[in-house]
Amino acid sequence: MSSDVCKHCSHAACLDVCPTGALFRTEFGTVVVQEDVCNGCGYCVVACPFGVLDRREGDGRVWKCTLCYDRLKDDLEPACAKACPTNSIQFGELTELYERAERRVEALHERGHADARLYGADPHDGVGGFGAFFLLLDDPEVYGLPPDPVVTTRDLPDIWKHTLAASAVLGAGIAAAFLGGRR
Amino acid sequence: MRRAEATMVPPAEPRSYYGRPVIKAPVWKPEIPWYLFAGGLAGASNVLAWAADVSGNRRLGRNARLIALAGGTASPVLLITDLGVPARFYNMMRVFKVTSPMNLGTWILAATGTAAAAAVAHETLGLSGPLGRIARGLSALFGLPLATYTAALLSDTAVPVWHEGRRELPFVFAGSAAASAGAAAAIVTPERDAGPARRLAVLGVLAGGASMRLMEHRLGELGEPYRKGAAGRFAKLAQGLSIAGALVMAARGRRHPGAIAGGGLILGGAACQRWAIFKAGFQSAADPKYTVRPQRARLEASHGHI
C-alpha cells in the first residue's frame, strides 16, 4: 500500500509553472498552495510528475497535501504521521530519516526482501530529492509512482530556445510571402 | 540457461499499478484548443498586418489587423472561462514569472491585444502622428511570440507527448498560425490584394504539416496517441483538410470564391490540428506506459536495472 501524498520536491515543477504565485515554498521547505490566491488555471495539475495535484469539483481551486503547514507552524508533526497506528509514516529531520530508512532497508535485505529500496531519497535525482520519501518493496511503477521523475522545467531553456526559433521562422515566412508581389 | 535468457527480455508492457495513470489528466476544457487556434490566428495576423502596411498594401493590412483584433478579443474570454475561479483571472498579473509559460503568455497576450486595439482605434478615428505606427509595430513584435508560446505552455508539463515533442511543437504551432492568418485574410480580402495572404496560407500548411510529421517521427512510440482514438481522428482530418485547402488555394485562389473555399478548408485543418494535439495530451496522460517506459529506459541506460 502507498499513499498518494505530495512529495514536496526540492525542484518542484508545480511551483515553477504556477502563473499566479499561489504555490510557494514554505520556511519548512515544503510546497503549499495558497487557497486565497489560486485561480484554478490547472497548470500545476499537468506539471506534477506524480499526478498529485488536482482541481476540486465545485470549488475550482487546486488542493494538495500541505504537510500540515498549520501544524508545523505550531511545532506539531503532520496529522498523518501522528495518527498512523503502525508508525509507517514518520516525520523528522530528513538527514536523520535517511539514516533510519537505510537501516530499515538493510534489515529488510537481510530478511530476504531483496527488492526493498528507498524512493526519493537521492538529492541528485530529477527533482532534487523529495521532502517526503518512501521505502518500497518493488519497482516504483508497481505503486503507480514514476520510476525516474524529472522536473519539467529542467528543459525550459531548451523549450524557450525552440519557441523563439519558431517565432523567428514565422517572421521570416511572413516576410517571404510578400516577395511575390501583391497579387 | 533458458531461464537466464528469459529474464534478459524486458516485459513488452511496462509494469503499473493496475493500469492506472501515473500523472493526472489535464483539467482543461474545449476552451483551450480553441484558444490555441484563436491565439495563433491573432499572433500571426498582427505580423501579417504590419508587413502588409510596410509593403504599402493597406487593404490587406487593415483586414489582417481586424482579424487579429477579433482573435485577440476571443482569446482572453476563452482563457478566463476555462479557469476554475474565473473572477480571479487577474491573479495571473500579480507576478512576472519566466518559469511559467502561462504567466509570460498572459503578459504577451495582454500586450498584443492592447497594441492591436490601439492601432485599430488610431486607424478608425483617422488620427495622425507616430502613435499608430508604434502601436502597429508593437502588436507585430508581440504577435510573434503569441503565435508560438502556447507550444512552450504545453511542452512545459509532465505529459509525455507534449514534453517530448518540445523541439518540434513550436514549429507546428508557427505553421498552423501562419496558415490560419493567411487563410482568414485571403477569405475577406479582394483577390488583387490578397497574394501575400494566399502564399502565407500555403506556406503555413506546408511548414506546419512537415513539422507535425517530424514530431511524430521523433516521438516514435510516444507519438502513438496521434494515430489512435480522438487525437488520431483529428490528426487525420487536419491533414486532409489542410492539404485540400492548400491545393484549392494554390490552384484557384486568384479568384475570390476559390480563396474562400481554400481558406475555409485551411482554417478547419488548423483547428483540427490544435484539437489533435490537445486530445493527444489526454491520451498520453491516461496510459501509464507512456510515462513509465521512457523513464525506465533512461534508468536502464544510465546504470543498469534498478
Selection from B220, B289, B286 nearest residue B12 by Cα:
B289
Alpha carbons within 13 angstroms on the beta-carbon side of residue B201 total 38
Give CA–CA dist B148/B155, Å, rounded.
Answer: 11
Chain B CB contacts of A49 under 8 Å are: 22-23, 158
Burial of A103 (0-12, 13-18, 19+ CB in 10 A): exposed
Mean pLDDT, to the nearest integer, of B84-99?
96
pLDDT score of B127 = 87
pLDDT score of A181 = 76
pLDDT score of A3 = 66
For chain A, the residue count is 183
**Who among B85, B147, B191 is closest to A61 (CB)?**
B85
Using CA coordinates, name the residue in chain A closest to B14. Answer: A141
Query: Which of A46, A54, A142 has the highest number of chain B CBs within 10 A, making it the mutation to test binding with B?
Result: A46
Sign of the dihedral defined by the CA atoms of residues A80, A86, A91, A97, in that order? negative
Q: Do A60 and B16 touch (CB under 8 A)?
A: no
Q: In this structure, which amino acid lies at residue B170? A: P
Whole-number average pLDDT of chain B: 94
Is it true that domain A13-177 has CATH number 3.30.70.20? yes
Q: Do B173 and A166 touch (CB under 8 A)?
A: yes
Selection from B220, B215, B218, B221 nearest residue B276 by Cα:
B215
Using CA coordinates, name the residue in chain B closest to A39. Answer: B85
Segment among A2-16, A66-80, B218-232 with least mean pLDDT: A2-16
B229 in contact with chain A, both atoms CB, cutoff 8 A? no
Selection from A13, A21, A67, A2 nearest residue A45 by Cα:
A13
Chain B CB contacts of A176 under 8 Å are: 199, 203
Domain locations along chain A: 13-177
Selection from B104, B219, B112, B203 nearest residue B153 by Cα:
B104
Q: Is 50 exceeded by the pLDDT of residue B1?
A: no
Q: How far apart are the first and last CA of chain A?
A: 69
Mean pLDDT, to the nearest integer, of B224-236?
97
Q: Do A46 and B285 touch (CB under 8 A)?
A: yes
Q: Do B97 and A21 touch (CB under 8 A)?
A: yes
Looking up cell 499572433 gives B43
Cell of B219: 516521438
Give CA–CA dist B248/B263, Å, rounded.
Answer: 8
**Who among B88, B173, B203 is closest to A177 (CB)?**
B203
A102 CA to chain B: closest CA distance, Å? 16
DSSP of A52-75: --EEPTTT-SEE---S-HHHHHTT
pLDDT score of B13 = 74
Instruction: Note the ipTM here.
Output: 0.95
A163 in contact with chain B, both atoms CB, cutoff 8 A? yes
What phi and psi, each to the nearest 5 degrees, are found at residue B135? Answer: -60, -40
Selection from B139, B135, B175, B157 nearest residue B270 by Cα:
B175
Which secondary-structure segment (H or E) carries B38? helix B31-54
Looking up cell 537501516 gives A103
pLDDT score of A1 = 53
Query: Which of A41, A54, A63, A137 has the highest number of chain B CBs within 10 A, making it the mutation to test binding with B?
Result: A41
**Dihedral angle at the C-alpha atoms of B80, B152, B285, B158, nearest 10 degrees?**
-110
Q: Is 70 exceeded by the pLDDT of residue A2?
A: no
Classified as helix, coil or strand, A25 is: strand
Q: Where are the alpha helices (DSSP H) in B55-85?
A: 58-82
As a whole-number percent, the residues of chain B with pLDDT over 90 amount to 91
What phi and psi, each to the nearest 5 degrees, are found at residue A25? Answer: -95, 130
In order of start, what are the domains of chain B with their CATH numbers? Answer: 27-288 (1.20.1630.10)
* CB-defined contacts A:B, below 8 A: 245
Higher pLDDT, B302 or B116: B116
What would the pLDDT profile of A119-174 be if each residue is shown by its tens digit?
Answer: 999 999 999 999 999 999 999 999 999 999 999 999 999 999 999 999 999 999 99
Using pLDDT thresholds of 50, 70 and 90, give the confidence band for residue B306. very low
pLDDT score of B233 = 98
Mean pLDDT, to the nearest integer, of A36-62?
96
Give CA–CA dist A90/A82, Å, rounded.
Answer: 8
What phi and psi, each to the nearest 5 degrees, are found at residue A168? Answer: -65, -40
Chain A CB contacts of B204 under 8 Å are: 173
